[in-house]
Structure 1
Amino acid sequence: MKKWIVAIIVVWSLVIVSGIAVAVVLVTGGDDDNDAQRDPSPSPTTPGESSTSPTTPAGPVPAGLESFYSQQVAWEQCGSDKCGTLTVPLDYAEPTGETIEIALEMAPATGERIGSLVVNPGGPGAPGTDTAKDADYYFAPELRVAYDIVGFDPRGTGDSSPIDCLPDDQLDEYLAGDPDPDTKAEVADFNADSADYWSGCAERSGDLAAHVSTIEAARDMDVLRAALGESQLAYLGFSYGTRLGATYASLFPANVGRLVLDGAVDPSLPTLEGSLSQAKGFETALRSYLQNCVDLGDCFLGDSVDAGLKTVKDLLADIDAQPIPTDDPDRDLTVGRAFYGVVAPLYSKDNWTYLDQGLEQALDGDGSTLLFLSDFYTSRNEDGTYADNSVEAIGVINCLDDPWSITSAQVKSHYKEFEKASPTFGDVFAWGLVSCNGDPFTSTEPDIPITGAGAAPIVVIGTTRDPATPYAEAVAMADQLESGVLLSRDGDGHTAYNKGNACIDDAVHAYLIDGTVPADGTEC
C-alpha cells in the first residue's frame, strides 16, 4: 500500500496484512493448474550452508563498480539467523565517493538448499530484514527448505542509513492531523505541516534523501546478488516490492532468475491515476467488508452495503468535527488516526473482526481500538517511539520516483473524480496529490522504461479485491513486462501468497523451486 506523506495515503506492505492478529486463520484456495512450462533449475548445495563468494553475473558488471561487486558479506550469527551488511555507493554516478551500508538478515535454508531468495515486503519504507527474521511466518515450509531467505532494508529505511524527518512526538501529531482539511484554518495547518516535514527531512537527512530512489535500491539488489554468490537473482517481492523487482528486471534483465511479484502495481501509472486506482481499491475492499457484515445478518452498520457506507462516512465526519476519547488520556482519536484505523484492517479479511470492534466502539464514543489500529499501521510503539521509519521514508522515496504534485488550492478541482472512485475516502486521496509539493530533493537517476526486455519469465500475481494494489494494476504490469506471466487470485485482502490458496502457493513453489512457469492467465 502506498503511504503518502501529508494526507499519507497508505503503505504498500506485506507487514500490514499480517501483523494485527497474533494468529492468522488462512483461507482455503483452489486447485493448481497443471498447464505449465519449465526452465532450468539451480543445483542444490549443502543443507543449511550458503555461498557468499561473488560469482560472475550473467550480465556485465557496471564499470567502476568492480570493488562493490567483488565484496563478500561477513555474516554473523543473530539468533537463529545470520546478519551482515553490504557496502554500496551513496551515488552510483560517483562510485569513488561516499558509501552507505545496507542491513541484511538471512534465514538459512532448513534442508537441501538450492540458492538465495531475496525478498522485499513493500512500502516503500518497510524494513525487509524483519521479513527474514519472521521467515517461518511469511513463507511456507517448501520455500524455507529450499532457499536461504535474504531480507534487506532498502537504502533510507530500517537500519540502512534511515531517513529521518521529524522527532517522534512531532511525527505523532503530524499523523493525527486532518487528511482532508475543509476550512481555511485546517488548510493552513495542512500546508504548515507539509513544510515542516520537508524542511525536517532536509535538516535531519541531508544528501541521503536525494539518493533513496527505487532505481538506486534496485542497483543495490544487483550488488547483493553478486555478494550472495548468485549469477542470477531469485526474488519474491510483495506490494511496492513488485515495482522494485520490475525495476531490477529492466536494469539487469540478463541477471534475472526466478522473479515472483505478488500484489503488483502498475509502474506506468502517474501519481494522479495511481491515486485514483488506489482510492477505488479501498472503496472496493470496504464494500466487500460491509457485504460480509450484511450477509452474516444483523449488521451493526446497517442492513445494506450503502447503509453501511453512510454509517462509516458519517462516523468519520463526526470524529472530524469532534475527536473522541481513547484509553490513552493524552491522545484522542482524531480523524487522521481514525482514517488509518479504518483502512489498516482492510488489508486482510482475517482482520475484519478488528474493524468490527473498532467501529462498534467508535460509534459508542470510544476510539481505543481504532487508535490501536492506527498506531499499528504507522509502526508506533506504546511508549511513543516508532518501530521503524516507514512513515517518513515513504514520502521521500515516492517523491524521488515521481515528483509530480499539485498545490492545496488545486485539490478541489479533483474532488469529483476522486469521489466517483471512492465516495468514502475520495477526498483524502485527492489531498494526497499535494504530497510532493515543496519537496526539495531531486533524483539523480533518469527514468527508465519498465519492460524487463530480455528477462526470464516473471510471475506477476494479482488479487481481485486487493485494496492497496488493485487487480487491474497486476494485469497491467504483466502486460508491460515482456516476459510477464499473470497469476490471479479471486479473493479479498492484499497480496496472495501464503494466504491459504493452495493454487497460488503451488504455482509459486513450482516456479521458485522447480522452475515450472505457470500458464499465463492462470486463475485461482
Structure 2
Amino acid sequence: MLVALSALAACSAGPSTRPVIAVHGDGGEPSVAATPSGPRDVPPLESYETPGLSWSTCTDSARARMRGAAPAGDWEYECARLTVRLDVPSRPGRGSLGMSLLRVGTGGSPLVVVGEAGGEPGTVKAARLAASLPPSVLSTFTLIGVDRRGTGESDPVQCVPDAARIGIVEADPGAESHEELADAYTLASRECVLDLENRLPAVDSWRASADLEQLREALGVPHLNAIGIGEGARVLTLYASRFPDRIGRMVFDGAPDPTLDVAAVAETRAVAAEEAFSAFQKDCVIRACPLGAGATDRYRALVESLRDRPLRGAVFDVTPGTAAEAVLAGLADRNRWPALAEAIVAAEGGDGAKLAAFVEPLLVGREDDPARLDAGLITGCNDTTTRIPPERVIGMTEDWRTKHPLFGAYFARQLLACGPFPVPQAVKAPKLTSAPPMLVLTTASDPVTPREGGERAAQALPAGVVVAWQGGGHGALGQSACATKAAEEFLVSAKVPTNGTSCPP
C-alpha cells in the first residue's frame, strides 16, 4: 500500500520512458560483521537442524489463511515460532517478540522466504510459492516462510483505527483538497504512537534483517539461502551488507530501487502502473475478456461514476480511491488479471463486491491475518527519514495527474502518509564490497517494484545478475517459466545465468 523506499540497484537494459529523478540516501550506523574481500563463489548447500524450534503440523490453518486460494494438491505445512530481539532504539539489544515460521518441502537445506510488510504474510507466501516452484527446488530445499516483524502472526501491529484505514483507502485521488486524506494519516499516526509506544520504531527493515540472522543461527547453517519478494529484497540486501560472510544463495524477485528518493520512487511506480494497465488491456484483448480493447476508457468512466454514486459495502464503500487500490492490487497479481477484468465489469453494473475483495486484506483483519495496511504504513515510514511537506505534495499531485493520468495523483497523494509519523533514527548499512553472485529477477511491467529499479539494484551488488522477464505483474518467480528455470538452476545447481538474460512474455 505505502510507497516504500527501495534498497538495491542496476544497469540499464535499454531505452526507458521513466522519469529521470534525483537520488537520495538515508544515514545510519555501521555493522561490526566481518567483511570478506575479493570475488566469491556461490556457497555450497548445507543441511539444517532446528533443535531450538518446535515444529507442529499447521496444514489446515495455513490453508485457511490463504483466504480460499490455497494451491491444489496434498501440501503439508509445519509451523513454529522463534523468539527474536525487539531491539528498540531506547533499549538496544533488549526486549523480545515472537516470529512466526512455516516450512514446506523435503530438502535438507533451508531456503527462507521474505515478503513485503504490507503484502501477504511471508509464511503464506512460502506456502503458495511452493506450489509454483519446480519439484527439484522442493526436494533440495525446505522452504521456510517468515512473517516479518509486525506482520501476519509475528506480533502484528494493529494500531490504525478502522476510520483511518477506511479514510485512507476510500480517499478520492482526484479530490482537489488533500485535507481529509491528511487527517486520516494524522489519526493513524496518533493512535499508533499511543498504542505501540516504544515498540513503534522497532518495526522496520533494518531490524527485520537482524531477525534473519537469528533465524540462520536457529537453523544451524553457516549461510542464509533466501528468496526476497518485492520489498522483502530490501531486507535481504540489508542482511547481506550487515552479515557479508553469511550470504548464501539469494534470489531477489522484483527488487526495489536503492538510488531514488521517496518522491522519485512514487513517480516511477506511477509510470510502471500505467504500463502494467496497458499490458493488462492487451492481455484482455488476447483473452477476449469482457473489457476488450476498451479497458482504459471503461476504468476511467467507472471512476467518474463512483464520484457521484459510490457502491455501498458492509464495511467500506467502493469509491474512486477504493477502485484505484483494487486495480493496483489486481495488476500486481498476474494470476488475478481475469478476476480483475470481471470485477471492473461487475462494478460497472453496480456490484462492487468483486472489486472490494481485492482491497479487503488491507482493511479487514482476521485473528490469523490482521489488516495489512498497518504494518505496511509503519514499516515504510520507519524505513526513511524523509518527510515531504503537504504543499510540495499538492504541486506534485497536479503535475503527475497530467503526466500519468490513470494513477499519478494516487501515488503523489500517498506521499502524505509519513508526514505525521515520528522521524526514525537514521541507519546506514555498511557498503557491501564483496559477495557471491545474487540473482535479481525483474518484470517489464511491474507496478510495485519497477524494472529499472531492479536493474539498479543488481548493479549496486558486487555480483548482481539480472534475468529480465518481459511480462507484467509483480514478480517473475512462478510466473515466467524461463525466469523460474534460471532461479531453479541457480539455487539447486549453483549455475549462474548470463547477466541481462531476457525471458519472453
The verdict on a shared fold, with TM-score over 0.5 as the criterion, is yes
- Corresponding residue SS for 2:455: helix
Aligned-partner Cα distance in 2 for 1:125–1:206: 24
Does residue 1:285 correspond to 2:276, yes or no?
yes
Distance 1:171 1:196, change over 3 A: closer
* 1:454 and 1:482 in contact (8 A); partners too: yes
Instruction: Kindly state the Cα deviation for residue 414 of structure 1 after the two structures are TM-superposed.
Output: 1.0
- Tell me the residue number matched to 2:231: 240
* 1:253 and 1:456 in contact (8 A); partners too: no
The correspondence of residues 219-234 of structure 1 with structure 2, limited to 5 A, is 219-234=210-225
> 2:373 is aligned with what amino acid?
V
The correspondence of residues 196-211 of structure 1 with structure 2, limited to 5 A, is 196-211=187-202
Aligned-partner Cα distance in 1 for 2:201–2:143: 29
Q: 1:259 aligns with which of 224, 242, 250?
A: 250
* 1:408 and 1:431 in contact (8 A); partners too: no
Distance 1:132 1:352, change over 3 A: closer
Does residue 1:177 correspond to 2:170, yes or no?
yes
Instruction: Kindly state the Cα deviation for residue 485 of structure 1 after the two structures are TM-superposed.
Output: 0.8
Q: Matched residue pairs, number?
A: 453
> 1:174 is aligned with what amino acid?
G
Q: Deviations over 1:140-182 (max 9, x none)?
A: 3221111121112111112222212234x43553344314262
Does residue 1:447 correspond to 2:432, yes or no?
no
TM-score normalised by length of structure 2: 0.82
Distance 1:321 1:516, change over 3 A: same
- Corresponding residue SS for 1:440: coil
- Corresponding residue SS for 1:491: strand
Aligned-partner Cα distance in 2 for 1:38–1:439: 43
Q: 1:422 aligns with which of 404, 428, 450?
A: 404
* 2:112 and 2:224 in contact (8 A); partners too: yes
- Tell me the residue number matched to 2:364: 380
Aligned-partner Cα distance in 2 for 1:202–1:487: 42
- Tell me the residue number matched to 2:25: none
* 1:101 and 1:160 in contact (8 A); partners too: yes
Q: 2:204 aligns with which of 213, 233, 241?
A: 213
Q: Deviations over 1:35-67 (max 9, x none)?
A: xx9745325x5xxxx4126xxxxxxxxxxxxxx
CA RMSD of aligned residues (A): 2.8
TM-score normalised by length of structure 1: 0.79
* 2:153 and 2:368 in contact (8 A); partners too: no
Instruction: Kindly state the Cα deviation for residue 407 of structure 1 after the two structures are TM-superposed.
Output: 3.2
The correspondence of residues 316-465 of structure 1 with structure 2, limited to 5 A, is 316-325=303-312, 328=313, 331-376=316-361, 378=362, 380=364, 387-415=369-397, 417-419=399-401, 421-440=403-422, 442-443=424-425, 446-448=427-429, 452-465=432-445
Aligned-partner Cα distance in 2 for 1:429–1:281: 11
Where does structure 1 lack aligned partners over 5 or more consecutive residues? 13-36, 54-71
Instruction: Kindly state the Cα deviation for residue 513 of structure 1 after the two structures are TM-superposed.
Output: 1.1
> 1:398 is aligned with what amino acid?
G
- Tell me the residue number matched to 1:311: 298
Q: 1:144 aligns with which of 134, 138, 148?
A: 138
- Corresponding residue SS for 1:459: strand
Q: Deviations over 1:238-291 (max 9, x none)?
A: 111111111111111111011110111112221011001111111001111223
* 1:344 and 1:374 in contact (8 A); partners too: yes
Instruction: Kindly state the Cα deviation for residue 120 of structure 1 after the two structures are TM-superposed.
Output: 1.2
* 2:115 and 2:148 in contact (8 A); partners too: no
- Corresponding residue SS for 2:131: helix
- Tell me the residue number matched to 1:474: 454
Aligned-partner Cα distance in 2 for 1:421–1:487: 30
Q: Deviations over 1:299-336 (max 9, x none)?
A: 74655xxxx434322321331233134xx466532222
> 1:380 is aligned with what amino acid?
V
Distance 1:397 1:135, change over 3 A: same
Provide the identity percentage: 26
